[in-house]
C-alpha cells in the first residue's frame, strides 16, 4: 500500500512502468503500421486472384493478422492513456469492480489494468460492461 491510502501517486514506480509500456506499444504500433502498408503495397502488385495465386492467400492472412494486432495495440494505447489519467487523478491501482487495491506486482506487470486478479479471472469486468 502506498502512503496515500493505497492509491499510488504519479511519482511512483507505476509512472515509469506506464511510460515504458506506452513506449513499447507505440513501437509495436509503428512496426505494425509499416507491415500493413508493406503488405498492401505488395498485394497491389500481385495477381488479383487469391484463390489460384499461392502467395495471395498468405498475403491476405498476413494482412488480417497485422490489422488485428494493430487494432489490439491501439486499444492497449487507449487503456494506457486512461491508466495515466487515473494515476494523475489518484484513482489508479483500485479495481473497478470490487474497489480493492490492486497488488503492486500486478500493477507493475500490467500497468494498464483496471481489475484485481480475482475479478479479472472471474471475468466480472466483461459481464459488468455489457450491462
pLDDT(52) > 60: no
User: Residue 49 — φ and ψ, nearest 5°?
Assistant: -105, 85
Q: How confident is the model at residue 117 (pLDDT cuts 50, 70, 90)?
A: very high
C-alpha cell at 131: 450491462
Mean pLDDT of 61-84: 94
pLDDT of residue 87: 93
Mean pLDDT of 69-90: 95
Angle at 90 between CA 71 and CA 115, to 5 degrees: 50
Count of CB atoms within 10 A of residue 117's CB?
14
Name which residue leads in pLDDT, 17 or 124: 17
pTM of the model: 0.74
Say if CB 9 and CB 3 are below 8 A apart.
Answer: yes
Nearest residue to 93 via CA among 104, 80, 81? 104
Amino acid at each position: 500500500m502506498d502512503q496515500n491510502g493505497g492509491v499510488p501517486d504519479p511519482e511512483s514506480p507505476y509512472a515509469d512502468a506506464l511510460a515504458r509500456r506506452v513506449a513499447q506499444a507505440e513501437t509495436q504500433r509503428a512496426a505494425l503500421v509499416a507491415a500493413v502498408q508493406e503488405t498492401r503495397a505488395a498485394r497491389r502488385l500481385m495477381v488479383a486472384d487469391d484463390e489460384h495465386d499461392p502467395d495471395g492467400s498468405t498475403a491476405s492472412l498476413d494482412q488480417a493478422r497485422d490489422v488485428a494486432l494493430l487494432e489490439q495495440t491501439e486499444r492497449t494505447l487507449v487503456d494506457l492513456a486512461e491508466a495515466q489519467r487515473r494515476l494523475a487523478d489518484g484513482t489508479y491501482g483500485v479495481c473497478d469492480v470490487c474497489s480493492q487495491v490492486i497488488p503492486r506486482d500486478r500493477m507493475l506487470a500490467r500497468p494498464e489494468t483496471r481489475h484485481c486478479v480475482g475479478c479479472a479471472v472471474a471475468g466480472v469486468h466483461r459481464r459488468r460492461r455489457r450491462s
